[in-house]
């Protein structure tokens, strides 16, 4: 979902427990104030490849979308009490269910938690109930380095028609990534949220950090440690999103620490095959947590069958055209007319598909 892309651009199985509810076992994690005390904390280990594969193998093929309701411009509008919209969430996840989707990738936000921790967790649980009813087991994203750098709690900006991801906000943002004095609050957020839902069968996986900037590497490392200390029963990961030298250190850390390998790929099917082959060398399950950018050659007719053939989970960007404006390409400007070929998203706000042949292929391959 980043504005600048790397060079390569151009119902679940046994034991899902869909009726389960959170087991609230919030750990009383000791907050650290210096590097010595941080090192002294107990750190839970990365899953072995054997454990990761045993977790993945019984499951049906994972297919889903990066989800935000069409009525929300960003993560804060999705999760704040005044604008939380369960009716739209239920309707739109019903459309996802109708084409065979069984997972989704959903972004949380530290500010939505800090404003109202208990209310935030209650809304997350309500969302999980809706998803579970629809046979969808989502992964939850904790932090994000993409788009608008200064998130603010409260009323969110109005949509700017034609501007891709016009209101999406980073979490915590560049200042928070660099200012370690703010990290105890971020640790409390991670410990509370992951700790509260760490045994919840309605959650598939914890996505620690979306497309972390290079300056976020230290915070990325800390976040992995915080999540490990919360001891979730679900696997954790952070998706490799770039294969160029400028992002090599971040990418190497993401791969080395993830229980399950997750990645982003917005290119044609032939390069997708190459990239998946490279990742398979790690001997772990793979889920592509961002794909489908039609004008970059990442399209349903060619790429979805590759994921199916290889048994690799896939989560395309976007479900319903809405306030995020992601039918428009990266870098689009205000007033841009609706493109003949949408960039992301599958449905219009009334549930009609952008391309009925895409929807039919989803149904066929997930049937």
Query: How far, in Å, CA of 6 to CA of 265, rounded?
Result: 9
The residue written with tokens 């490392």 in the block is: 221
Burial class (CB in 10 A: 0-12, 13-18, 19+), 119: middle
Please report the domains of the chain, with CATH numbers, ordered by start residue. 62-366 (3.20.20.80)
pLDDT in tens, 138-149: 999 999 999 999
What pLDDT sits at residue 1?
A: 58
CB atoms within 10 A of CB 297: 17
Judge if the upstream peptide bond of residue 172 is cis by omega within 30 degrees of 0.
yes
Query: How far, in Å, CA of 115 to CA of 301, rounded?
Result: 43
Interval 95-123 mean pLDDT:
98
Structure token digits, residue 298: 């990442």
CB atoms within 10 A of CB 96: 25
Identify the band that residue 129 occupies on the pLDDT scale cut at 50, 70 and 90: very high
Residue 308 and residue 298 in contact, taking contact as beta carbons nearer than 8 Å: no
CB atoms within 10 A of CB 38: 14
pLDDT in tens, 275-294: 999 999 999 999 999 999 99
Residue 137 and residue 102 in contact, taking contact as beta carbons nearer than 8 Å: yes
Query: How far, in Å, CA of 304 to CA of 105, rounded?
Result: 17
Identify the band that residue 274 occupies on the pLDDT scale cut at 50, 70 and 90: very high
Which helix (DSSP H) or strand (DSSP E) does residue 236 occupy?
strand 236-237
Q: Which residues contact 3 (CB under 8 A, 6 or more apart)?
A: 146, 147, 330, 331
pLDDT in tens, 235-273: 999 999 999 999 999 999 999 999 999 999 999 999 999
Alpha helices in 63-208, H assignment, sequence order = 75-79, 86-98, 110-115, 117-133, 174-178, 183-196
pLDDT in tens, 166-175: 999 999 999 9
What pLDDT sits at residue 20?
A: 32
Task: DSSP letter for 338, please.
Answer: P
**pTM for the structure as a whole:** 0.89
């Amino acid at each position: 979902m980043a504005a600048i892309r790397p060079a390569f651009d151009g119902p679940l199985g046994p034991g899902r427990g869909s009726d389960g509810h959170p087991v609230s076992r919030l750990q009383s994690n000791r907050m650290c104030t210096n590097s010595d005390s941080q090192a002294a904390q107990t750190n839970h280990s990365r899953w072995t490849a054997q454990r990761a594969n045993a977790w993945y193998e019984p499951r049906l093929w994972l297919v889903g979308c990066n989800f935000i309701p069409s009525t929300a411009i960003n993560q804060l509008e999705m999760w704040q009490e005044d604008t939380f919209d369960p009716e739209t969430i239920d309707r739109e996840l019903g459309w996802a269910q109708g084409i065979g989707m069984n997972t989704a990738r959903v972004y949380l936000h530290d500010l939505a938690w800090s404003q109202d921790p208990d209310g935030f967790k209650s809304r997350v649980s309500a969302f999980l109930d809706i998803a579970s009813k629809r046979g969808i087991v989502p992964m939850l994203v904790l932090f994000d380095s993409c788009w608008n750098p200064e998130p603010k709690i409260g009323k969110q900006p109005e949509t700017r028609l034609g501007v891709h991801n016009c209101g999406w906000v980073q979490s915590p943002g560049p200042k928070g990534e660099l200012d370690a004095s703010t990290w105890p609050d971020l640790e409390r957020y991670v410990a509370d949220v992951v700790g509260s839902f760490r045994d919840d069968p309605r959650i598939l996986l914890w996505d620690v950090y979306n497309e972390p900037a290079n300056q976020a590497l230290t915070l990325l490392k800390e976040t992995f440690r915080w999540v490990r200390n919360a001891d979730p029963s679900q696997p954790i990961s952070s998706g490799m999103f770039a294969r160029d030298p400028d992002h090599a250190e971040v990418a190497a850390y993401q791969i080395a620490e993830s229980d399950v390998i997750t990645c982003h790929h917005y290119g044609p099917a032939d390069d997708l095959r190459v990239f998946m082959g490279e990742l398979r060398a790690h001997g772990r399950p793979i889920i592509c947590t961002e794909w489908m950018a039609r004008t970059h050659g990442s399209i349903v007719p060619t790429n979805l069958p590759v994921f199916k053939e290889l048994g690799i989970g896939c989560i395309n960007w976007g479900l319903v055209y809405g306030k995020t404006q992601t039918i428009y390409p990266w870098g689009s400007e205000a007033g841009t007319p609706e493109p003949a070929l949408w960039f992301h998203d599958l449905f219009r706000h009334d549930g009609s598909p952008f391309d009925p042949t895409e929807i039919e292929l989803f149904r066929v391959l997930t049937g």
